[in-house]
Amino acid sequence: MKSNLFILTKVQLKTGLSVQGRGRKNRSALLIFGLIAVAFLPLIIEIVKFLSDAYNALERIGQQGVLLSLSFTISSLVIFLFGIFYVLNIFYFANDVESLLPLPLKPGEILGAKFLVTVFYEYLTGIAFVLPIVAVYGVKSGGGVLFWLYAVLAFLLLPVIPLALASYIILPLMRFTGFAKNKDRFRLVGGIFALVLAFGYSYLNQKFVGSTLTSEGLQDLFLKGNNSLVGIVSRIFPTSRFAAESLVNASNISGLTNMALFFLVCALAFVLFLYLGEALYFQGVMGISETSARRRKLTSDELDKNISSKSVLMTCLLKELRILFRTPVYFLNCVIMNFLYPLFLIFPFLAQSSAGSLMGELGHIINNEKFGGYVLVGAFTLILLVSSNNGITSTAISREGSNLYISKYIPAKYSTQIMAKVLSGVLLSAGGILSLLLISAILFKINAAMMFAILVTGLAGALFTAFVGIMIDIIRPKLNWDNEQKAVKQNFNMLFTALICLAAAGVTIFGVIRLKLGFAETLAAILILYGLLDILMYYLVKTAGVKRFSEIET
């Protein structure tokens, strides 16, 4: 089993990452990532400085260990939430599932390989949340060999428990796929229900921790020192306490004990996953690619309605939207993400015991004319980043895959087809903007002027991100894929789009703060700047974009 498990894991990683040996394309990718690393070097330096100052401040009260606890806890929570998507995509939506079933492989080998692949992908999350804090803590505390050894072990084991918990939610839900007539619809509903359960788990944990962190309790813990906050913070994700305690106490027997406990809990979680998977996984994955169709006669009125003429642009737009909503992978990774980010922002406030007063104070700040410019540019930046991360336009050409040749034959101009893809991204981003405004209006009582300003600037920003995404995907589309997951989750065009929009957001924030712009000035500046950028990008798409699109071959 061990040999087959690691061989299968290696093969799935290679195919998933599209590794095809050394070549010019791989060297170009390495060069791009090198340039990205250099570009973010100043930001990394500032983060390290901030963490170093935070360590010094916490060390004075004997609570520096809370940095490790926070890093492991937040990382575990993020891995758990995004693990829902990874488990759905890798375990159920990958096209290799049914091709693996006839092979002489044991159920545990297939399940174990897919789980290890998912763990590997989640290491990227761990690097972002854990590596900087652990590195700063280790250097500042003078951590010895055992500290760094425990740090490596904790990092490698960190995704196991969150992903196991995500699997415990997904596996029972997807077990009933075989009974559903419309499997795609059932998978969509099951995925959404799993997300609701995940958010509910996160909310209850944060609510529990928030209720324990009263002012009197915090004061008592601060006076005690000796890293007494580590256990409290870890209650959000309890098993992260073992990892944090093992590093904090690396120099004594407590470190070894906590690392042994962490390893044991991870092993038990993995064994339980295999047991549950063997009982539920294959019944849920059998015939998962099958589809059903309703056959009924159409009346003359229904026929006339279905064949009524529409504009070419509207027809292409409806086609894009139908594909996004009807394909489970695209829906969960592109569509629904526009509406999840507002929840990510609101949940921490709702989980506080003093949520009402806290939201009232924030609402007062948001509606204060003195801070109007900063609030508007902050909301605009948030919308810009969310829109750039939904992947709708930055994977629009890639999602065509080997069927791209159809676009060359249908009676629609290339410019019309491209603009339909752009509009699909703008429409769904607009839906996310409206949901954010609606929630904010209810919770923070934002005034009408601010809501209108956020809406119009957000639409200008969403159009900009859509144009940037489509241009990047036209320049370097990922057409060689065998399942929809690779077209979206393993497409670096999303990353490049997000980085460009992050840079644009940084420049915008810097300009507003440096020039000390007020609300009206910020509104005018954003609309003029991004209005001009949208016109420029539209011209590029209609000229260079159309020319490049005509040259693409599958």
Residue corresponding to tokens 């106490």: 249
198, pLDDT greater than 70 = no
Q: Which of 83-97, 515-529, 532-546 has the lowest mean pLDDT?
A: 83-97
Number of H helices, E strands in the chain: 26, 0
When pLDDT is averaged across residues 481-507 and rounded to a whole number, the result is: 83
Report pLDDT digits (tens) over 315-364: 899 999 999 988 878 887 888 878 877 776 666 566 555 555 666 677 77
Residue type at 61 in one-letter notation: I
Overall average pLDDT of the 108-122 stretch? 85
Whether 62 shows a pLDDT value over 60: the answer reads yes
- What is the DSSP code (8-state) at residue 295? -
Total-model pTM: 0.71
Query: Coil, strand, or helix at residue 503?
Result: helix
Give the pLDDT confidence score for residue 204 in this predicted structure: 61
**pLDDT-based confidence at 210, cuts 50/70/90?**
low
Q: Which residues contact 10 (CB under 8 A, 6 or more apart)?
A: none
pLDDT in the model for residue 20: 47
Residue scoring higher pLDDT (62 or 524): 524
Does 25 or 379 have the greater pLDDT score? 379
Residue 396: pLDDT band with limits 50, 70, 90: very high
Highest mean pLDDT among 37-51, 218-232, 244-258, 361-375: 244-258
Kindly report the average pLDDT of the chain as a whole number: 78
The continuous run of DSSP H or E covering 300 comes out as: helix 300-306
Q: Taking residues 148-177, report their average pLDDT.
A: 86
Confidence of residue 68 (pLDDT cuts 50, 70, 90): confident
For 401, phi then psi, to 5°, come to 55, -135
* CA distance readout (Å), 309 to 231, 292, 408, 421: 65, 28, 21, 20
Give whichever of 36-50, 94-108, 494-508 has the largest mean pLDDT: 494-508
Q: Which of 10-14, 24-28, 376-380 has the lowest mean pLDDT?
A: 24-28
Specify the range with the lowest mean pLDDT, choosing from 494-503, 522-531, 541-550: 494-503
Asked whether the beta carbons of 497 and 465 are under 8 A apart, the reply is yes
Higher pLDDT, 348 or 447: 447
Please give the pLDDT value at position 302: 60
By percentage, how much of the chain surpasses pLDDT 90?
20
pLDDT at 17: 59
Beta-carbon contacts of 397 under 8 Å, excluding residues fewer than 6 positions away, are 404, 421, 470, 473, 474, 477, 479, 549, 552
What token pair was written down for 138?
Answer: 């280790």
Query: 118-127 pLDDT, tens per residue?
Result: 888 888 777 8
Residue 1 scores a pLDDT above 50 = no
- Domain residue limits, the chain: 2-12+49-285, 309-551
pLDDT tops 60 at residue 220: no
In angstroms, rounded to a whole number, what is the distance separating the alpha carbons of residues 118 and 490?
A: 13
The two structure tokens encoding residue 372: 């109007």
Is the pLDDT at 2 greater than 60? The verdict is: no
| pLDDT at 303 (0 to 100) | 58
Amino acid 216: pLDDT:
44
Cα angle at 69 between 68 and 73, to 5 degrees? 120
